[in-house]
Structure 1
Amino acid sequence: MMSNDNNKQPAHQPVPAVVRKTNVFTSVIWLIPLIALIAGGWLLMKDIRNRGPEITLLMDSADGIEVNNTVVKVLSVEVGRVTRIRLRSDQKGVEVTARLTADAKDMMRKDTQFWVVKPRIDQSGISGLNTLVSGSYIAFTPGKSEETEERFEVLDIPPIAAIGQNGLRLKLIGLNDKMIGAGSPVLYEDFSVGVVESAEFNPQDQTVNYTVFIQSPNDKLVGENSQFWLQSGINIETTGNGIRVDSAPIPALLSGAISFAAPTGGDKGKPAVNDDTFELYNNRSEIDNLPTERSLYYTAFFKQSVRGLVSGAPVEYKGINIGAVADVPYFAQNDSLKLFENGWIPVRIRIEPERMELNADAQSREYWQNQFQTALSKGLTATIASNNLLTGSKMIELDDRPSESAKLKPFADYNGNVVIATRGGGLDDLQAQLGSLLEKFNKLPLEKTVGELNGSLRELKATLNSANALISKPQTQNIPNELNQTLRELRQTLQGVSPQSPLYGDVQSTLQSIDKTLKDAQPVINTLKEKPNSLIFNSNTKDPIPKGSR
C-alpha cells in the first residue's frame, strides 16, 4: 500500500520554462547585406550623378586606340574613356564610343573639335613625346555653339586656335606656283600674328584655298584693302642695284609663310570680318607690279634680241623707275606668224603716274597722258638696256637725247596702244658694232701688206749695212784729220804773204769760210761717230704707217 502512496503524483505540478539564448553573431550577418545595399545604392547614385554623355568618334583608323585604356582629355585632364571600337557601316573608317564624365557634359557642342595626341614631327616642331610611355589619347577643344552634338569627326592634326581664343578667320584663294601646309605662320612686317589652319588644292580651277586665323588683337591690322602674298624662306632679288637677300623668320624658313600689308601708298580700308575672302599672290613683286586705274600702256618694237627682258622688268627714265614691262612678247592676233618676215618683237610697257608724282599732288590720268604724248613728239625713244650684268636681266630705258641711229616705229598704233619709237643701244648694240668692225678688218689684205713691209725692211737693212761699211773704212774716218792737216799747211804758207797784199785778204776770207764750214760740219761729224746710220734715219720724224692698216 505504501508503494501506491509513493507513486501518487501531486495534483498541480509546475511546467518547466524553456529559456532560449539569442545569437548576436547571427543578427550582425543580416546587417552586411543591408550595408552593401546602401553602399551600392550610394555608389550608383554617385555614378549616375557623375556620368556624362556617351559620344561617338569617327576616325580613319584605330591606330593606338584601346578599349578601357585610351582616355579622353581636355587641357590634360581626364574626362572620359573609350568603351567600344567597331567598324563603320560604310567601311570608311572606325567608330569609337567613349563615355565622358559629367564635367564634360556641357562641352559637347556642334563646333567641338577632337584629335588624337601621339608623337608628331612637323614644321611647328616635335610634340606628343609623353605619349611614348603613356600611350596615345584623344583630346578635344570645347566649342562655343549653342547646339549640342554627340557625333564628331576626329582630326588628323591638332586644331590651330586655342581654347577660348578670339581672332579673325579669313579665306585666301590664289593661282600659286607652290603650296604651304597647315601650321605655317601668318606674318605682318615679319611679326607672327596668325597661323594657317588649312590648305587645300582645287583641281577643277587649279587654285589653292587657305583658311588662316589671325589672333586678337592682331586682327585689327586686317582691312578690306589688305593684300596677301606668299613669303618664301629666303627671297633673292637681282636688280640694277645689285643682289638683295631677304630672309624671313625661322618658321618661314622651314615651311614658308603668308604675309599681308596695306596697299603701298594707301590704307587698309574698313576692318575685315570673319570669312572674308582675299586673293593670294605669289610674291610681293607681283603686288608691286599690279596695274592701277591711272596706268598708261604703250607698245615698243625691237629688232634686237629681247633675251633677259621679262614681265615685271623696270621701265626707267634717266634712272627713275616710272613703270614696268607688262607683256613680252606682245603679239596681236596672228602677228607672230610674220615673225621671220618682219623681225619685229613687240613689247608692251606700263607707265605708273604715281611713281612720277614725287613730293607732288596726284594728277589725273589725262594729265599724264598729255605729258607723255608731248615727250613722244619731242623724240622720246625706248631702248633695251642691261639691268644686271651678273644675271643678264634687261630693262626698258626711255631717253629723249638726240641720236643719229635709225628709229624703229612701224605703226602709230598697235592693238589699241600708242607705239613708242625705239633704237639700238646697250651692250647688244656695242657688240654689233664691234662685230662689224672686225668683219671689215678681216677683209683687209693683211698678208700682202705684211709681205711688202718685210721686203722693204730687207732693202733697208741692206742699205744700212752698206752705209756702215762705208763709214767703217779708214779713208772715211781720216777725212777730218786730212782737212786739219791741209789747214795747218795753208796757214804756214800765208805767213809769208804780206797782210797789205790783195792776195792775203782773199786767202784770209777763204780761210774764214772754210773755218765756218768746219764748225758747221763738226756736229754732223760727232753725230756720225755716235750714230753712223743717222744720215739714213731721221730721229725727229715718226715711223711710216703701212697703207694696208689705215
Structure 2
Amino acid sequence: MPDSLRAERRTQRSLSPIWIVPLVAVLIGAWMIYDNLSKLGPSITLIMDNAEGIEAGKTLIKTRNVEVGRVERVNLSDDLAHAEITARMSPQAEAMLNSDTRFWVVKPRIGREGISGLGTVLSGAYIQLLPGSGDQAQRTFTVLEQPPVASPDAPGLRITLVSQVGNAISTGDPVSYQGYTVGRVEDSHFDPKKREMRHQLYIQSPYETLVTSTTRFWSTSGVDVRLDSQGFRINVASLESLIGGGVTFGVAENAAMGRPAKPGASYVLFPDEDSAYEGSYNQYLEYVLLVDDTVRGLSPGAPVEYRGVRIGTVVSVPWNFSAPQPDSLSRFAIPVLIRIEPQRFDEEQQEIDIEQWYQRLERMFGNGLRASLKAGNLLTGALFVDLNFHQDVVPFQRMSFVERPVFPTTSGSFAQIEQKVSNLLDKLNNLDVEPILSTLNDTLATTQQTMAKVSGIAASVDALLADPATGQLPENANATLRQLRDTLQGFAPDSQGYDELTQTLSRLEKLMRELQPVVRTLSDQPNALIFDKKLTEDPQPRAPK
C-alpha cells in the first residue's frame, strides 16, 4: 500500500459542545450567588432580657411600617443572662444602623396614653427600628423595654433632673406646664455612687422656650393634701398625673424669666411646688433661735413671718442640740436654725448685700425686735416663727451659737398664758382659805334657811291657788266691773240720774251760800243762837296826832 494512501492520526485539543451547558449553568449559579450576596444587608445582634413573641424566620423588623429586616436566630447568651437575637437587615437599612439607633418590640400595651399595638394580636409581634443620626456605625444593640418618647434628632430640648431617692418618676411620665403636657420623661436611673436619681426629660418644640435658668421642677403625685400652720390646702393635677404622677415646672411669681436653657442643662427635682419655689431664694441670712419654750409643732419648712408677711423659713428643729450654749443663758434652750430671705422683698431677684442686712437687723434688735413661737393651726398644733417689736424687753447682747448669730427671742403667747396661770395659782395658794370657808359655810346656812322660808311661802301660794274660792275671784271681779260700768253709765250726761245729780248739787250750792252769813255770825259770836247779836258802834275816825 503506497505511503500516499496511508492515514495520518493527529490529536485535536478542543472543548466538546456538550460541556457548554454545565458551564453556563455554573456561571448562572455563580452570578445568582453573587447577586444574592450583593443584595444581603448587614447582620446585627439584638440583646433582650426576654424573647417573648420573637420567632426565628418569622419576626420582622420594621421602620415606618416598612420591612427592613428579619430575625434569623434566637439564642441564649453564654452566661444565660439574656437572649441574643441575630437578624438580617436589608441593604437600605445599613445607613440607619449607628450609635443613635433604637429598637423595641411592638406588642399590645396598656399605658397612660391608652392601648397600643392591637394590630399585632393577629399578625404577631415585630421589632420596631427608629433610625439614628449618629456618625459611628454599630451592629450590636440593646432592645428597649418601652418605646422611646421621641427620636434622638426630634426638635425640642433635653435636660437632666437630679433628685433624691424616693421620687416616683419613671420613663414615659408626663412633663407639664400649668396643667398642659409639653414633654415626657425619657429615662430614669439611679446613680449608686452619688446616691441620687437622674431623669432625662424631653421638652417638645416649641415649648422648650418655657425652660429658663430660673425654672424650677417638682414632682406631682396627682393629689396633694396638706394640713399645716398655713391651713388646709389641696391641689389636684391632671388625670394622667393623678394615675401615674409626673413632673411639673414653672417660675416663681417674683422671679424673672431668666436666660433660655441650654441642651443637657441640669436641674434639681423638688418634691413639691412649695419646695421648688423656696429653692429659688438662694441668698439668705442664717440665725439661731435659742427657744426656752416647747418646740412641739414646729417643723422644718415652717414660715418665718413679720406681722403676717413671710420673710424666711425654718431650716432645722432642733439644730446642733448637743452643742455648748452661751454662758449668758440661765437655762438650757432648744436651738432652732432659721433663714431670713431678703429676696422675698425683691421682685427682680437682684443681688443682695448680706452684710448690710445683718447690720440692719442688729439695729432692729436694739429697738425691740424679737422672735416668738405662735400657733398657726389650732387643729394640728403647728407652730411658726413670728417676728415683731416688743416693749419693755431685756436689752439683747450679741452672741453666737456654732458660728451662727443668735436671733433674740421672747416667750410666745401660749407660754405667757401659762406663766399668768402659774402666777394666779401661786396667789391662790398664798390665800388664807379658812376664814373664807367659814364665811361661806355661814352664808350657805343662811341661804338654806331663806330657801326653806321661800319653800313655805311657795307652798302657801300653791294652797291658795288650789282653793276653789281663789278660782272664782276673776269671775267675781268681772261681775263687779260690769256693775260699776252700769253704774257709771247711769251718770252719763244724757241720763236722768245725771240731771238729778246736777239739780241736787245746785240746791246744795244755794244752801251753802245761804248758810255763809250764819256761819260767819257764829264765828264772830258763838252764843248768837241763844243771845241776841251785839250791836257794834259805828267806828269813829281818829284825829291826827
Task: Assess same fold via TM > 0.5.
Answer: yes
| Match in the other structure for 1:454 | 444
Distance (Å, rounded) in 2 between the aligned partners of 1:215 and 1:465? 92
- Residue by residue over 1:209-229, the C-alpha shift from the partner in whole angstroms, topping out at 9 and shown as x without a partner, is 111122222223333443332
Distance (Å, rounded) in 1 between the aligned partners of 2:285 and 2:353? 11
Distance (Å, rounded) in 2 between the aligned partners of 1:449 and 1:210? 81
**Matching residue's letter, 1:456:** T
Distance (Å, rounded) in 1 between the aligned partners of 2:335 and 2:363? 22
Q: 1:467 to 1:242 in 2, by over 3 A?
A: closer
| Match in the other structure for 1:86 | 75
The percentage of aligned residue pairs carrying the same residue is 33
| Match in the other structure for 1:196 | 185
Are 2:231 and 2:376, in contact at CA under 8 Å, matched by a contact in 1? no
Are 1:330 and 1:348, in contact at CA under 8 Å, matched by a contact in 2? yes
Report the CA distance between 1:134 and its aligned residue.
1.9
Q: 1:358 to 1:217 in 2, by over 3 A?
A: closer
| Match in the other structure for 1:231 | 220
| Match in the other structure for 1:413 | 400
Greater displacement, 435-444 / 78-87: 435-444
| Match in the other structure for 1:311 | 300
Distance (Å, rounded) in 2 between the aligned partners of 1:260 and 1:358? 19
Distance (Å, rounded) in 1 between the aligned partners of 2:359 and 2:26? 102
Greater displacement, 77-86 / 442-451: 442-451
Alignment gaps of 5+ in structure 2: 1-20, 459-521, 525-545
| Match in the other structure for 1:519 | none
**Matching residue's letter, 1:396:** V
Are 1:231 and 1:258, in contact at CA under 8 Å, matched by a contact in 2? yes
What secondary structure, in the 3-state scheme, does the structure 2 residue paired with 1:287 have?
Answer: helix
Q: 1:203 to 1:448 in 2, by over 3 A?
A: farther
What secondary structure, in the 3-state scheme, does the structure 2 residue paired with 1:354 have?
Answer: helix
Report the CA distance between 1:198 and its aligned residue.
1.3
CA RMSD between the two structures: 4.0
Greater displacement, 283-292 / 55-64: 283-292
Residue from 264, 285, 288 that aligns with 2:274: 285
Q: 1:69 to 1:234 in 2, by over 3 A?
A: same
Distance (Å, rounded) in 2 between the aligned partners of 1:465 and 1:222? 88
Report the CA distance between 1:393 and its aligned residue.
1.6
Residue from 150, 169, 186 that aligns with 1:161: 150
Distance (Å, rounded) in 2 between the aligned partners of 1:177 and 1:103? 45
Greater displacement, 417-426 / 108-117: 417-426
| Match in the other structure for 1:70 | 59
Distance (Å, rounded) in 2 between the aligned partners of 1:313 and 1:466? 67
- Residue by residue over 1:300-346, the C-alpha shift from the partner in whole angstroms, topping out at 9 and shown as x without a partner, is 2222211111122111111111112122212365349x9xx934112
What secondary structure, in the 3-state scheme, does the structure 2 residue paired with 1:52 have?
Answer: coil
Report the CA distance between 1:143 and its aligned residue.
0.8
Report the CA distance between 1:185 and its aligned residue.
1.4
Distance (Å, rounded) in 2 between the aligned partners of 1:381 and 1:172? 40
- Residue by residue over 1:250-308, the C-alpha shift from the partner in whole angstroms, topping out at 9 and shown as x without a partner, is 22222222223346644454433333332322223223334856422222222221111
Report the CA distance between 1:376 and its aligned residue.
1.0
Q: Describe how 1:493-504 pairs up with structure 2 within 5 A.
A: none
Are 2:375 and 2:384, in contact at CA under 8 Å, matched by a contact in 1? yes
**Matching residue's letter, 2:158:** R
Residue from 430, 433, 437 that aligns with 2:417: 430
**Matching residue's letter, 2:406:** V
| Match in the other structure for 1:522 | none
Q: Describe how 1:470-489 pairs up with structure 2 within 5 A.
A: none
Aligned pair 1:320/2:338, yes or no?
no
Aligned pair 1:271/2:260, yes or no?
yes
Distance (Å, rounded) in 2 between the aligned partners of 1:464 and 1:124? 86
Distance (Å, rounded) in 2 between the aligned partners of 1:97 and 1:363? 63
What secondary structure, in the 3-state scheme, does the structure 1 residue paired with 2:298 have?
Answer: coil
- Residue by residue over 1:80-137, the C-alpha shift from the partner in whole angstroms, topping out at 9 and shown as x without a partner, is 2211122222332222111223342322222211111222234444332332222221
Distance (Å, rounded) in 1 between the aligned partners of 2:152 and 2:167? 31
Q: 1:110 to 1:366 in 2, by over 3 A?
A: closer
Distance (Å, rounded) in 2 between the aligned partners of 1:85 and 1:124? 31
Are 2:104 and 2:127, in contact at CA under 8 Å, matched by a contact in 1? yes
Q: 1:245 to 1:46 in 2, by over 3 A?
A: farther
Report the CA distance between 1:165 and its aligned residue.
1.7
Q: 1:49 to 1:464 in 2, by over 3 A?
A: closer
Alignment gaps of 5+ in structure 1: 1-31, 469-497, 501-550
**Matching residue's letter, 1:457:** T
Are 1:409 and 1:419, in contact at CA under 8 Å, matched by a contact in 2? no
Question: How many residues end up aligned between the 2 structures?
Answer: 438
- Residue by residue over 1:392-449, the C-alpha shift from the partner in whole angstroms, topping out at 9 and shown as x without a partner, is 221111111325xx76969733233333332223345435645765786698668766
Greater displacement, 85-94 / 141-150: 85-94
Aligned pair 1:329/2:318, yes or no?
yes
**TM-score, length of structure 2 as denominator length:** 0.69
Distance (Å, rounded) in 2 between the aligned partners of 1:91 and 1:360? 58
What secondary structure, in the 3-state scheme, does the structure 2 residue paired with 1:155 have?
Answer: coil
| Match in the other structure for 2:372 | 383
What secondary structure, in the 3-state scheme, does the structure 2 residue paired with 1:342 have?
Answer: coil
**Matching residue's letter, 1:453:** T
Q: 1:73 to 1:370 in 2, by over 3 A?
A: same
**Matching residue's letter, 1:296:** L
Are 1:412 and 1:418, in contact at CA under 8 Å, matched by a contact in 2? yes
| Match in the other structure for 1:141 | 130
Distance (Å, rounded) in 1 between the aligned partners of 2:452 and 2:129? 111
Distance (Å, rounded) in 2 between the aligned partners of 1:97 and 1:361? 60
**Matching residue's letter, 1:273:** K
Report the CA distance between 1:144 and its aligned residue.
0.6
Q: 1:464 to 1:208 in 2, by over 3 A?
A: closer
Q: 1:449 to 1:126 in 2, by over 3 A?
A: farther
Q: 1:152 to 1:282 in 2, by over 3 A?
A: same
Distance (Å, rounded) in 2 between the aligned partners of 1:449 and 1:183? 84
Distance (Å, rounded) in 2 between the aligned partners of 1:461 and 1:186? 81
| Match in the other structure for 1:205 | 194
Report the CA distance between 1:50 and its aligned residue.
4.8
Report the CA distance between 1:163 and its aligned residue.
7.3
- Residue by residue over 1:145-192, the C-alpha shift from the partner in whole angstroms, topping out at 9 and shown as x without a partner, is 122222211111111214752222222222243231111112233332
Q: 1:459 to 1:44 in 2, by over 3 A?
A: same
Are 1:408 and 1:423, in contact at CA under 8 Å, matched by a contact in 2? no
| Match in the other structure for 2:509 | none
Residue from 69, 89, 111 that aligns with 1:100: 89
Are 1:382 and 1:397, in contact at CA under 8 Å, matched by a contact in 2? yes
**TM-score, length of structure 1 as denominator length:** 0.68
**Matching residue's letter, 2:219:** L
Q: 1:48 to 1:379 in 2, by over 3 A?
A: same
Report the CA distance between 1:207 and its aligned residue.
0.9
Distance (Å, rounded) in 2 between the aligned partners of 1:98 and 1:177? 40
Distance (Å, rounded) in 1 between the aligned partners of 2:347 and 2:204? 37
Q: 1:428 to 1:408 in 2, by over 3 A?
A: farther
Distance (Å, rounded) in 2 between the aligned partners of 1:359 and 1:92? 56
**Matching residue's letter, 1:455:** A
